[in-house]
């Protein structure tokens, strides 16, 4: 009998990191792979599904504009129960730290279904930052039966919380598997603006920002620092703006119609990953970019007070720039004007695995049933 595995995800980053796994599960003869999307994100999720050609079996379509955390949680919890009762999976897989992940894991737990947690064990140890992700991943970790951890420090975090060693598997991060499928030195964006940017001769800074705890003054400070950099130095900023209306309002307010700041719509994953690989510098509060950029040898300034990805800082390709305007400005200024500091950071070191996380995860899922 094939094992029924339901992958549950709903936002852009989960989709990017789960689609390579879904593809792997689909190919495995011993597994029946079922995909359930909550669509906590709508357009940004659909962009990823299209790139990877993944067609969900269930689409809960829950997204509402300016949705609250309680709305997301309750809609998923109630909606997913019906699907779990119908499908009766052997295991569900959730990813990382979103509210989709936590609510999906909780629903499975309530219905007596095993939970596998992909990208398990990341921690900042500050329950308010990132909010609510630190709590989402900690609670998901308590519920999960199998933990797939990208790095040794993630494994150690789980061990320190009393999670049983035999339930933790060191896999690397599936984002490296995703990048392998995506980066192409001859990539054509298929976009008039991007195809005409002179990446060889211009210093292009790619910017993204969306964290809930940064909405408001911190995000204004971040954008003011970037604005000053563009005014003072010869750099171009490309910023695909997250669809969250609160983010878009602040981006428009600070950058207005600056010539060298290009506020564009979210790119599809192939376009964005290839933009990263051609950029000079990445400035972001995103989690995923802190993993992708080191794999591409691109320095990252993290626009947050802390990170759950200390490996990239240790590897030297990521620097924590904080959320104060002056500090961000100074750190970026140095990387743009001091080639020695830049070269030190751009030496490609990738602490997130060798692109075999998908296979390791599938092998671990199958081994789990042999030992049961």
To 10 degrees, what angle do helices 12-27 and 357-371 make? Answer: 60
Pairing between strand 146-149 and 91-95? unpaired
Closer to ligand UDP by Cβ: residue 90 or 133: 133
- Name the segment binding ligand UDP (CB under 6 A); options: 68-76, 225-233, 286-294, 329-337: 286-294
Residues annotated as part of the active site: 97, 119, 133, 210, 212, 242
**244: contact with ligand UD1 by CB under 6 A:** yes
* Exposed e or buried b per residue across 98-137, where buried means at least 16 C-beta atoms within 10 angstroms of its C-beta: bbbbbbbbbbbbeeebbbbbbbbbbbbeeeebbebbbebb
Output the smallest distance, CB 230 to ligand UDP, in A. Answer: 19
Output the smallest distance, CB 317 to ligand UDP, in A. Answer: 16
117 φ, ψ (degrees, to nearest 5): -110, 115
- Cα separation, 165 vs 168, whole angstroms: 5
Site residues (CB under 6 A) for ligand UDP, limited to 1-60 = 12-13, 16
Output the smallest distance, CB 164 to ligand UDP, in A. Answer: 28
Binding at 243: pick from ligand UDP, ligand UD1, none (beta carbon under 5-8 Å per type): ligand UD1
Closer to ligand UDP by Cβ: residue 228 or 266: 266
Report residue 159 as tokens: 């061990």
Site residues (CB under 6 A) for ligand UD1, limited to 68-97 = 69, 97
Whether the CB-CB separation of 113 and 315 falls below 8 Å is answered with no
**98: contact with ligand UD1 by CB under 6 A:** yes
Among 116, 105, 195, 186, residue whose Cα is nearest residue 149: 116
Closer to ligand UD1 by Cβ: residue 69 or 87: 69
**99: contact with ligand UD1 by CB under 6 A:** yes
How would DSSP label each residue in 206-248?
EEE---GGGTTHHHHHHHHHHHHHHHHSSEEEEEE--S-HHHH
**17: contact with ligand UD1 by CB under 6 A:** no
Choosing from 183, 230, 233, 243, the residue that interacts with ligand UD1 (CB under 6 A) is 243
Whether the CB-CB separation of 199 and 231 falls below 8 Å is answered with no
**286: contact with ligand UDP by CB under 6 A:** yes
* Residues 6 or more apart in contact with residue 287 via CB below 8 angstroms: 13, 96, 97, 130, 133, 308, 309
Pairing between strand 318-320 and 300-302? parallel
- Cα separation, 304 vs 227, whole angstroms: 18
Report residue 51 as tokens: 């790139």
**151: contact with ligand UD1 by CB under 6 A:** no
- Cα separation, 179 vs 299, whole angstroms: 17
Site residues (CB under 6 A) for ligand UD1, limited to 299-338 = none
Cα–Cα–Cα angle for 263, 267, 273, nearest 5°?
A: 115
**120: contact with ligand UDP by CB under 6 A:** no
Site residues (CB under 6 A) for ligand UDP, limited to 234-253 = 240
Choosing from 90, 133, 308, 325, the residue that interacts with ligand UD1 (CB under 6 A) is 133
Binding at 99: pick from ligand UDP, ligand UD1, none (beta carbon under 5-8 Å per type): ligand UD1
Whether the CB-CB separation of 153 and 327 falls below 8 Å is answered with no
- Name the segment binding ligand UD1 (CB under 6 A); options: 48-56, 66-74, 119-127, 273-281: 66-74
Binding at 289: pick from ligand UDP, ligand UD1, none (beta carbon under 5-8 Å per type): ligand UDP
**44: contact with ligand UD1 by CB under 6 A:** yes
How would DSSP label each residue in 287-330?
SHHHHHHHHHT--EEE-SS--S-HHHHHHTSEEE--S-HHHHHH
Site residues (CB under 6 A) for ligand UDP, limited to 288-327 = 288-289, 292
- Cα separation, 122 vs 156, whole angstroms: 10
Mark residues 193-232: x for contact with ligand UDP by CB under 6 A, - for none.
---------------x-x----------------------
Residues in contact with ligand UDP by CB under 6 A are: 12-13, 16, 208, 210, 240, 266-267, 269, 272-273, 286-289, 292
Sites of contact with ligand UD1 (CB under 6 A): 11-13, 40-44, 63-67, 69, 97-99, 132-133, 210, 212, 243-245
């Amino acid at each position: 009998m094939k094992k029924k595995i339901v992958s549950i995800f709903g936002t852009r980053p989960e989709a990017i990191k789960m689609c390579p796994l879904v593809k792997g599960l689909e190919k495995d003869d011993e597994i029946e792979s079922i995909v359930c999307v909550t669509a906590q994100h709508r357009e940004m999720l659909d962009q990823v599904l299209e790139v990877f050609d993944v067609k969900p079996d269930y689409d809960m379509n829950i997204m509402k504009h300016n949705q609250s955390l309680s709305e997301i949680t309750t809609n998923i919890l109630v909606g997913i129960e019906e699907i779990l009762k119908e499908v009766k999976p052997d295991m569900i897989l959730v990813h990382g730290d979103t509210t989709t992940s936590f609510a999906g894991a909780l629903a499975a737990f309530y219905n007596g279904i095993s939970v596998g947690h992909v990208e398990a064990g990341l921690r900042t140890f500050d329950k308010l930052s990132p909010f609510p992700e630190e709590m989402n991943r900690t609670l998901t970790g308590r519920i999960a039966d199998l933990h797939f951890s990208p790095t040794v420090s993630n494994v150690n975090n789980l061990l320190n919380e009393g999670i049983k060693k035999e339930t933790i598997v060191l896999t690397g991060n599936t984002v490296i598997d995703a990048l392998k499928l995506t980066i192409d030195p001859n990539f054509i964006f298929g976009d008039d603006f991007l195809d005409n940017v002179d990446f060889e001769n211009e210093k292009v800074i790619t910017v993204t920002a969306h964290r809930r705890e940064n909405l408001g003054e911190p995000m204004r400070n971040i954008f003011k620092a970037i604005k000053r950099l563009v005014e003072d130095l010869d750099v171009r900023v490309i910023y695909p703006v997250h669809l969250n209306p609160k983010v878009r309002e602040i981006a428009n307010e600070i950058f207005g119609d600056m010539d060298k700041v290009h506020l564009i719509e979210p790119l599809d994953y192939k376009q964005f990953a290839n933009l990263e690989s051609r950029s000079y510098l990445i400035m972001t509060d995103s989690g995923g970019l802190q993993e992708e950029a080191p794999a591409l040898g691109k320095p990252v300034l993290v626009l947050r007070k802390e990170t759950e990805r200390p490996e990239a800082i240790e590897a030297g390709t990521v620097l924590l720039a904080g959320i104060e305007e002056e500090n961000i400005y100074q750190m970026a200024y140095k990387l743009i004007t001091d080639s020695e500091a830049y070269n030190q950071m751009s030496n490609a070191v990738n602490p997130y695995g060798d692109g075999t996380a998908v296979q390791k995860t599938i092998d671990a899922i199958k081994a789990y049933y042999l030992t049961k």
